[in-house]
Structure 1
Amino acid sequence: MKWLKSRKGQQAVIIFSFVTVPLLLLLIFTYLPFAQMVQFSFYKMKYLTPPDKRVFVGLKNYIDVFTRDDCFKALKLSVYYCIGALFQLALALFLATILSFGVKGGNILKGMMFFPYLISGIAIGFIFKFFYTRGFVLDSILGLFGVSQEALPYWLKDQAVNNWSLVATSVWRYFGQNMVLFIGAIMSVDAELYEAAALDGANRFQQFFHIILPSIKTIVTLNVILSITGSLSAFEPPYVITSGANGTGTYFVIMNEIAHVTQKVGLASAMAVVLLIIIFICTILQKLFFKYAFREADT
């Protein structure tokens, strides 16, 4: 008891508490549910199926993920969002570079571009649901430029454009956040490097590729990883705007339907595990790519 009342004893108790409590919460609310989900992925079951009535099916659920038409098509839709994520990052980096060099009214522009990220994803979904509806905002804007409504597609029904319309929604929402992160990284670059480069005759384009990009490689890598992994788990735009209709059901939308509508818990759990593995592989590949791309900056 004397040791616990001593300064060292109290320090030990505090350190032990700060270490064990977060780990315990992480174990209870993250790792144990994940382990349970992995276990469910090997069974055919519903939410209320008793443990003794669950049917062990082995790898059948994992095979179904790649053989069922709805699951595999939803997985392929991630390509649309990955392309959108790369375009979004390029746009954010381009605007961040421009705004970092003292553009007049730059603070107002930063606030306007960052504002969509502060809006709830559900609210944005309803906004764009009316924005794309036939004869509403987008069609009216295009009509001002002389485009007839008959020449325009149904933005949310035509399968040639509806997924790109949803991707544009995600780009509009998230590019401001990435832009602000890029601006913060660019502003941390030593200004003397720009002065030295200007004296050597380097233009803005050369300064970007030889000074800015190598200097912010960490934040670029982080943003790419977060954007790609986020695009693989896109949910709000297709769920709110189209409810996954007309071929817009992303992997998460289909997984939600399988889990909560048809209650195929085993198959939905297998889909979640497959997505986790894909995200893990993509993260490793991106790290290797950027390690190779920025090898000159490292040296």
Structure 2
Amino acid sequence: MSRTDTRVGRVEARPTPGRSRPYWTTRRRDQLTGYLFIAPQLLGSVVFVILPLLLVVWYSLHEWNVLADTFDFVGTDNYTALADDPNLGPVLRATGLFSVGLVVFNLGLALLLAVLLNQKLRGTIVFRTLFFSPVVVSLVAWTIVWGFLLEDNGGLNGLLDTIGVDGPNWLRGEGTAMVSVIVVQVFKNVGLNMVLFLAALQGVPAELYEAAEVDGASRMRQFWRITVPLISPTILLTSIITVVGSLQVFAQIAVLTQGGPGTSTTVLVYYLYQQAFQFHHFGYGATLSIVLFAIVLVLTLLQWQMRKRWVFHES
């Protein structure tokens, strides 16, 4: 049965009486296809992100001693223990110092290198490859090599000795250990941010610089008034990546300083590892991991909200 719709000039099919509409319509088949495409990612997020987060919260409410095979519910005792932990303050200060130093030097050096390599000069491709190559090197191998270089009788002090300078014990000095770890991490990952900045710089229209030169704007004024606003979305991206990465550093501390001297380089992730896997306080270690998660979440949300004030194209 069908009828003619004279208002729009088309024929609309009507379902046959007594015959049910098929379940697998085109729309439902398309929806099923979409769900199947996102199923692997969704399953991975549930198994490797959401479920571990829920388990960490559950473990933080217990005291788990694997040596004695006990798993006792202690409620919020692990959270109240945070206030009584004398090491938590120095650990948070070391974490903040490392994060600030890494973010400032990494982003600053990456932007400087990107600006220099964006010039139309010979040999820039070689330098781009040179600065980016540490990114693809194994983190542990990179850290071990730097550990040999920064030893008291290592390569760096040997180089300084040739010019008559007595170098310090870089990884065992109170004032040099944190600086050494920051420098190692900056040189490891500065190439990634450099490439991101370089891609952003190459997307800035050259006509804007030409118009600014006609108006008599200096190179520095062009940089702050044209370059920085136009690459601000990339600055936001790199800052979020670098901040989150700085709060998750572990291998460099474990290989280079083991948190010493004292607690001067004991960042939160390494302190979490010590509590959980060296002292077997798994409940307290889970509590520290929640503190770390909260810090990362707050800083990320703060950066995301502040984007409205300085990121170009944002209202």
What is the TM-score with the length of structure 1 in the denominator? 0.89
Residue 216 of structure 2: aligned partner: 201
Partner Cα separation in structure 1 for residue 46 and residue 311 of structure 2: 37
Using the TM superposition, give the Cα deviation of residue 185 of structure 1 relative to its aligned residue in structure 2, in angstroms: 0.7
How far apart are residue 298 of structure 1 and its match? 5.1
Identity of aligned residues (%): 28
Deviation at 1:4, TM superposition (A): 7.9
Larger Rg: 2
* Conservation of the 8 A alpha-carbon contact between 1:80 and 1:167: no
Question: What is the rounded CA distance, in whole Å, between the counterparts of 1:86 and 1:288 in structure 2?
Answer: 20
2:85 counterpart residue number = 68
Q: Which has the higher helix share?
A: 1
- Which consecutive residues of structure 1, in runs of 5 or more, have no partner in the other structure? none
Q: Pairwise mapping of residues 147-186 of structure 1 onto structure 2 (< 5 A)?
A: 147=165, 149=166, 152-186=167-201
Q: Unaligned stretches of 5+ in structure 2? A: 1-20
Per-residue Cα deviation, 1:129-171 (whole angstroms, up to 9, x for no partner): 1010112211012123221x3xx32111111211111111011
CA distance in 1, matches of 2:59, 2:68: 11
| Maintained 8 Å contact 2:135/2:192 | yes
Aligned to 2:54: 35
| Letter aligned with residue 37 of structure 2 | F
Post-superposition shift, 1:276? 0.8
Partner of 1:15: 34
Give the SS at the match of 1:44.
strand
- Residue number in structure 2 paired with 1:284: 301
* Corresponding position of 2:15: none
Shift of 1:111: 0.8
**2:138 aligned to which of 112, 116, 120:** 120
Q: 1:45 to 1:144 in 2, by over 3 A?
A: same
Letter in 2 for 1:78: T
Counterpart residue type for residue 117 of structure 2? L
User: What do the CA deviations read for 1:186-229 (whole angstroms, capped 9, x no partner)?
Assistant: 11111111111121122221111111110011110111111112
Deviations 1:267-299 (A, max 9, x none): 11111111111111112222344432447x757
CA contact (8 A) 2:233 2:311 kept: no
Shift of 1:22: 2.7
Partner of 2:97: 80
Name the amino acid aligned to 1:113. Answer: F
- Displacement of 1:79 in angstroms is 2.1
Secondary structure in 2 aligned to 1:75? helix
Per the alignment, residue 95 of structure 1 pairs with 113
CA distance in 2: counterparts of 1:87 and 1:67, whole angstroms: 34
1:219 aligns with 2:234: yes
**Alignment-derived partner of residue 58 in structure 1:** 75
Q: What is the root-mean-square deviation of aligned Cα atoms in Å?
A: 2.3
Alpha-carbon spacing, 1:21–1:109, altered in 2? closer, same or farther (3 Å): closer
Q: Is the 8 A contact 1:40 1:269 kept in 2?
A: yes
Distance 1:9 1:290, change over 3 A: closer
One-letter code aligned to 1:182: F
Task: Say whether the 8 Å CA contact 2:240–2:300 is kept in structure 1.
Answer: yes
Summarize the Cα distance change of 1:293–1:12 in structure 2 as closer, same or farther, 3 Å threshold. Answer: closer
- The separation in 1 between residues aligned to 2:83 and 2:191, in whole angstroms, is 35
Residues 37-74 of structure 1: per-residue CA shift (max 9 Å, x gap): 11111111134776xx5322232222333432333322
The SS at the match of 1:128 is helix
For 1:67 and 1:160, how far apart are their aligned partners in 2? Answer: 27
Change over 3 Å in CA distance of 1:113–1:68 after alignment to 2 = same
The number of residue pairs the alignment matches comes to 292
What SS class does the counterpart of residue 69 from structure 1 fall into?
coil
Q: Does 1:109 align with 2:124?
A: no
In the aligned structure 1, how far is the partner of 2:305 from the partner of 2:218?
30
1:243 has 2:258 as partner: yes
Cα 1:47/1:291, change in 2 over 3 Å: farther
* More contact order relative to length (CA 8 Å, sep ≥ 6): 1
TM-score, normalised via structure 2 length:
0.85
How far apart are the structure 1 equivalents of 2:23 and 2:155? Answer: 68
Partner of 1:265: 282
Q: CA deviation at 1:21?
A: 4.0
